[in-house]
Amino acid sequence: MSAPRRFTGDTLVIASHNKGKVREIADLLGPYVATFTAAGELGLPEPEETGTTFIANAELKAKAAAAAGHVALADDSGLVVPALNGDPGIYSARWAGPAKDFAMAMRKVEDGLAGKADRSAYFVCALSLAWPDGHVETVEGRCHGTLVWPPRGPHGFGYDPMFLPDAHELTFGEMDPARKHEMSHRADAFRQLVERCFR
Ligand SMILES: O=c1nc[nH]c2c1ncn2[C@H]1C[C@H](O)[C@@H](COP(=O)(O)OP(=O)(O)OP(=O)(O)O)O1
Ligand SMILES: [Mg+2]
């Protein structure tokens, strides 16, 4: 395996069209990067997520943005529910539909769990950093927990209000964002990526 490539520039393109994610990524990587710009601000299109894994989708989103000429970081993430055979998984955003209705998506998860004893779930976050010459560095982080109903808390985004991380009493939706950043799947992935590419 070749040595990891380090990020040496000062501007990083965040290849995501999800505002919640862009905010979390800028929080987590703030100490290491001078300037962030988001794919949407550069007018980059949202590529179709044709991969069958989180890693494949993170890499295709990062490579598509880097082709415009700047180092780009993509995040592909989702909620994996073993009792639903891994759904919504890579389809987590798509379950919320074009209106990004996560109240509906959470209800769909809860409906699927009706009568099932196993309410465990985990979030996955694949991060891919891509250079214009096609080089990529990719890591994957996880966070395990259980699903509660009804959803609780105003913070975060997506499925956060129904996700209770292991050994905690507050859902990601109830937690202060700084606490979520200490234990989330995204924090786990960023610890690995910072180690490889940013310090
Ligand atoms: O920390 C999280 N807390 C709650 N929900 C989360 C989280 N992380 C991912 N999720 C769920 C919702 C999100 O919409 C989907 C990711 O889907 P994913 O395709 O990676 O992102 P996206 O389509 O929202 O934006 P984009 O592809 O432009 O980065 O998984
Ligand atoms: Mg997406």
pLDDT of residue 77: 98
Query: Count of residues for the chain?
Result: 199
Residue 98 lies inside a defined structural domain of this protein = yes
* Residue 111 three-state SS: helix
Q: Does ipTM come in above 0.90?
A: yes
Domain with 74 in it = 11-198
Residue 2 lies inside a defined structural domain of this protein = no
pLDDT at 2 over 80: no
* Cα(121)–Cα(166) distance, integer angstroms: 10
Tell me how many domains the chain contains. 1
Q: How many CA atoms lie within 13 A of 160 on its CB side?
A: 22
Residue 126 lies inside a defined structural domain of this protein = yes
Residue 4 lies inside a defined structural domain of this protein = no
pLDDT of residue 10: 87
Other Cβ atoms within 10 Å of 15 Cβ, number: 31
CATH of the domain at 104: 3.90.950.10
Measured in Å, residue 31 CA sits from the centre of ligand 2 at: 26
pLDDT at 136 over 80: yes
Residue 6 lies inside a defined structural domain of this protein = no
pLDDT of residue 199: 86
* Cα(54)–Cα(69) distance, integer angstroms: 24
Tell me the pLDDT tens digit for each residue of 10-66. Answer: 899 999 999 999 999 999 999 999 999 999 888 998 999 999 999 999 999 999 999
Residue 5 lies inside a defined structural domain of this protein = no
Measured in Å, residue 2 CA sits from the centre of ligand 1 at: 30
- For residue 76, indicate whether it is catalytic: yes
Residues 6+ apart with CB under 8 A from 90: 49, 51, 52, 53, 54, 57, 76, 78
Confirm or reject: Cβ of 17 under 6 Å from ligand 1: yes
Residue 3 lies inside a defined structural domain of this protein = no
Phi, psi of 52 (to 5 degrees): -105, 5
**What strands, in cross-sheet order, belong to the sheet with 11-14?**
35-38, 11-14, 72-80, 120-130, 136-147, 163-165
pLDDT of residue 1: 63
